[in-house]
């Protein structure tokens, strides 16, 4: 579904966003301490908003998410 083109009468689009979350001062806490919590927050939030998570990577000091809307 990630490669699906959405369309209306006169337009077609495939809208993807690359989002990066970074804690203040890039503290290295994400991967070990709050990884499970972030997964539990992102998945229901994206489902509620109708956003598809295509890809996601958690690094020690930031999170990369590719979403399709």
Domain ranges of the chain: 13-68
CATH superfamily of domain region 13-68: Transposase IS200-like (3.30.70.1290)
pLDDT tens digit sequence for 26-56: 777 777 778 888 888 889 999 999 999 999 9
d(CA 21, CA 39): 13
Indicate the average pLDDT of the chain: 85
d(CA 45, CA 40): 9
pTM as predicted: 0.74
13-34: burial string, b at 16+ Cβ within 10 Å, e else: eeeeeeeeeeeeeeeeebeeee
């Amino acid at each position: 579904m990630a490669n699906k083109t959405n369309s209306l009468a006169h337009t077609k689009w495939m809208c993807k966003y690359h989002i990066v979350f970074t804690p203040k001062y890039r503290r290295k806490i994400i991967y070990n301490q709050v990884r499970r919590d972030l997964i539990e927050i992102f998945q229901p939030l994206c489902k509620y908003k109708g956003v598809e998570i295509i890809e996601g990577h958690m690094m020690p000091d930031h999170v990369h998410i590719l979403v399709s809307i």
